[in-house]
Amino acid sequence: MTQKLDTGIRQEQIAQAALAVVARHGLAGLNVAAIAKLVGIVPSAIYRHFGGKDEVVEAVLGMVRERLLDNVRNVCAETSDPYERLHRLLERHLALIRANHALPRLVFSDEIYNGPPARRRMMFRTVRAYLDKVAGIVREGQEAGVVRADIEPATAAVMFLGLAQPAAILWHISSGTFDVVAHAEEAWRLFSETLRGA
Amino acid sequence: MTQKLDTGIRQEQIAQAALAVVARHGLAGLNVAAIAKLVGIVPSAIYRHFGGKDEVVEAVLGMVRERLLDNVRNVCAETSDPYERLHRLLERHLALIRANHALPRLVFSDEIYNGPPARRRMMFRTVRAYLDKVAGIVREGQEAGVVRADIEPATAAVMFLGLAQPAAILWHISSGTFDVVAHAEEAWRLFSETLRGA
DNA sequence: GCGTATTGTGAATTTACGTTCACATAGCGG
DNA sequence: CCGCTATGTGAACGTAAATTCACAATACGC
């Protein structure tokens, strides 16, 4: 029989396995059989550690949330220059997407919207938290006088997402053909020019 | 019994009904029962006109493709000023998304990636066709000397998508709370400034 | 009007999953 | 070493959804 492990450990393993499955097959392709196989246990064993598939999905969304916000925290800790912060954040966001193929699909996934309302609300809070932090970086830049003052920080934050989002789609849809990094660099150049003003 | 109609008519009705279902529940929530109910026939009748659900999905993707490209064609026919063209295209793109709630989710949908490879390729062709046309508008602007010459038209096209895409996500995820139009106007102002150059 | 191909119907079938359950077993406190 | 509780297992169950099929009814060519 498989080694018996503590529920805490198993929950961690299951959540990570689930994230891996989502990364390969999307949230729609997430099934307990696949998770169990990755963990090395039998499907029904999942229910010893989670109330059901929904709870596993919650855990996955929590992990994604943490990874996204970690990126923001890290770049903020590393430098105080707003441009350097945003530039690095963009790089890491794209790295996260590349490493975790389905991440952008997650935000859009039908399961988020068709599932329990609490799930959509949590996703909304996550995205808004991310946007708020980006907007905060922009606002600090304005207060320091290095970013144009006539730009709404919230708008800039959404536009910042817009640098990565469509590129991620294209990369996905083109099976990796589209050069995300090259586009991001060029787009960043233009976007940062805009923030700096004439 | 329900009135009998020609296969051509029924295919049209079914495709439109399917699009309506996708608009409300996403591609994952698309089921033949719902389509049949909207059309006013019984589920099994669908199979008189389509080989299966997959073919219906193909038809839906075809409709979406047409609507997207129609927008481009229309704005190009209406005016020749590149800024006016892009501005109107942005407006209509957002209108399309608002009218058809799930359109942005469609591009990202797991079913596109997990389904038959031909489906992803078709979606890729659609997006690239759209991008090519936008890039063409930008290039014309450069040739006319009204758009900065040191911008790659392809990059500008992807960035243009980035004006609408994240806003659409937010609108969706916030259940309509987020003000897409206001954001788009502000984002367009900044983006068009960037294209114009100093 | 008549017959035939086409289209609509309801029931049955199949498949894929999530979930439950009775039972087995491992690890831990005594 | 004993026994109890937590964990793992395989089989079974329920459900939802796609698809098939035998049969019925409609519309169209003659």
- Residues A35 and A53 sit within 8 Å (Cβ to Cβ): no
Give pLDDT tens digits for A124-133.
Answer: 999 999 999 9
CA distance A107 to A124: 9
Mean pLDDT, to the nearest integer, of A148-169?
A: 96
Any strand C atom closer than 7 Å to B1 CB? yes
Give pLDDT tens digits for A104-130.
Answer: 888 878 888 888 899 999 999 999 999
A chain contacts of residue B185, beta-carbon cutoff 8 Å:
none
Q: Per-residue confidence of chain B (198 residues) as pLDDT tens digits?
A: 799 999 999 999 999 999 999 999 999 999 999 999 999 999 999 999 999 999 999 999 999 999 999 999 999 999 999 999 999 999 999 999 999 888 888 887 888 888 889 999 999 999 999 999 999 999 999 999 999 999 999 999 999 999 999 999 899 889 899 999 999 999 999 999 999 986
Task: Return all residues near A84 (Cβ < 8 A) that are at least 6 apart.
Answer: A75
Taking Cα atoms as reference points, which of B182, B181, B170 lies closest to residue A125? B170
Is the pLDDT at A45 greater than 80? The verdict is yes
Q: Which residues 23-52 in chain B have a CB closer than 7 A to strand D?
A: 30-33, 43-44, 47, 52
Residue at shortest CA–C1' distance from C20: A44
Any strand D atom closer than 7 Å to A44 CB? yes
CA distance A16 to A170: 26
Query: What tokens does A41 get?
Result: 């246990």
Report the nucleotide nearest the CA of residue B48, measured to C1'.
C7
Site of tokens 């193929």: A101
* Gap from B83 CA to D20 C1', Å: 55
Cα dihedral B67, B72, B78, B84, rounded to 10, equals 130
B26 vs A113, A151, A165: nearest CB: A113
Residue B113: the pLDDT is 82
Q: What is the residue type of A53?
A: K
| Cβ-based neighbour number of residue A132 at 10 Å | 13
Q: Give how far the C-alpha of residue A2 lies from the chain's centroid of Cα atoms, to the nearest Å.
A: 33
User: Inter-chain contact B124–A173, Cβ cutoff 8 Å?
Assistant: yes
Query: What tokens does A65 get?
Result: 């949330």
Average pLDDT, rounded, for chain A: 95
Taking Cα atoms as reference points, which of B41, B3, B36, B1 lies closest to residue B17? B36
> Considering only alpha carbons, which residue of chain A is nearest residue B168?
A108
Taking Cα atoms as reference points, which of A27, A96, A171, A105 lies closest to residue B108? A105
Backbone angles phi, psi at B131, to 5 degrees: -60, -40
> Superfamily assignment of A53-196 in CATH?
Tetracycline Repressor, domain 2 (1.10.357.10)
Bases of chain D within 7 A of a CB of the protein:
6-11, 16-22, 25-27
The half-sphere exposure of A74 on its side-chain side, counting CA atoms within 13 A, is 13
Query: What tokens does B130 get?
Result: 């759209």
Backbone angles phi, psi at A189, to 5 degrees: -55, -50
Mean pLDDT, to the nearest integer, of A119-148?
A: 97
CA distance B83 to B192: 7
Q: For residue A120, what are the CA distances in angstroms to B97, B177, B191?
A: 19, 13, 30
Backbone angles phi, psi at A49, to 5 degrees: -120, -20
Give pLDDT tens digits for A64-89.
Answer: 999 999 999 999 999 999 999 999 99
Q: Note every long-range contact of B2-8, with CB atoms under 8 Å and residues 24 or more positions apart, other chains counting.
A: B2/B40, B2/B41, B7/B48, B7/B49
Any strand D atom closer than 7 Å to A69 CB? no
User: Inter-chain contact B190–A163, Cβ cutoff 8 Å?
Assistant: no
**DSSP output for A25-89:** HTGGG--HHHHHHHHTS-GGGGGGTSSSHHHHHHHHHHHHHHHHHHHHHHHHHH---HHHHHHHH
Any strand C atom closer than 7 Å to A25 CB? no
Coil, strand or helix at A8: helix
* Gap from B125 CA to D15 C1', Å: 38
Range among A104-113, A136-145, A169-178 rated most confident? A136-145
H/E stretch holding A191 reads helix A180-196
Provide the greatest CA pair distance for chain A. 68
B155 vs A27, A113, A183: nearest CB: A183
CA distance A104 to A109: 9
